Structure 1
Amino acid sequence: MHKNIIVNETLKTKRFVTIVSQQYCTAAFVDQQI
Structure 2
Amino acid sequence: MRKIGVLLVLAIVAAFTVSSLSFAADPYNYRYSGLD
**TM above 0.5:** yes
The TM-score with structure 2 as length reference comes to 0.71
User: Does 1 or 2 have the higher relative contact order (CA < 8 Å, sep 6+)?
Assistant: 2
1:10 Cα deviation after fit: 0.2
Q: Which has the higher helix share?
A: 1
The one-letter amino acid paired with 2:15 is R
The one-letter amino acid paired with 1:5 is G
The TM-score with structure 1 as length reference comes to 0.75
1:20 Cα deviation after fit: 0.1
For structure 2, the residue ranges without an aligned partner over 5 or more in a row are 28-36
Q: Identity, % of aligned pairs? A: 11
Structure exhibiting the larger radius of gyration computed from Cα positions: 1
Distance, in Å, in 2 between the alignment partners of 1:14 and 1:3 is: 16
